[in-house]
Structures are given as C-alpha cells and as structure tokens.
Amino acid sequence: MIYKVKAKIIEDTIGEFYRKLADGTVAKQRPDGEEITASMKRAVLTAPGVAEWYEKCFCPTPLIMSGRRNTTSTLPI
C-alpha cells in the first residue's frame, strides 16, 4: 500500500536522522530501509516544522511494523 505521511520534524534529532540517511544506515534496514530513503528524497516541507511524503508499506497488515494506524508520524522514524 502507498500512504501519504505528514510528520512533525524534531529539531533536536533531524541532524542525526539526515546523517543516517546520507551514510546508508537507514537504507540497510530491512525490509523498508531503501523505501524510507527514497521517501525522504521525495519529502517536501509543507509548513514550518512539517514534512510530507508518500511511502510504500511492506507490512502484511498496513502500518503494523511501526504500530501506527494513522498516517501522522514524527521524524525521525
């Protein structure tokens, strides 16, 4: 499934999250690390401190891996 995600950016940890995206740490996560990296490349800032993007969920039940049932999240994931 493809979801539209809207997330609040956590200023205190966004630098570390970006570093892990850039150095390949996130991409190595299974099963969805490469999709998270691709999703973050598509992410756009839609308001101060808010990012939105589309992502594929590889879970057998939608969003079960993260325990989320809605599509609002907080960065970093």
For residue 74, what pLDDT is reported? 43
What pLDDT score does 76 carry? Answer: 47
Q: For 65-75, what is each residue's pLDDT tens digit? A: 454 444 444 44
pLDDT tens readout for residues 23-61: 999 999 988 899 999 999 999 999 999 999 998 887 777
Long-range contact pairs involving 41-49 (C-beta distance under 8 Å, separation at least 24): 46/6, 49/8, 49/9, 49/11
- Asked whether the predicted pLDDT for residue 77 surpasses 80, the reply is no
pTM exceeding 0.75: no
What confidence score (pLDDT) does residue 63 get? 56
CB atoms within 10 A of CB 29: 14
- Between strands 72-74 and 50-56, the pairing is unpaired
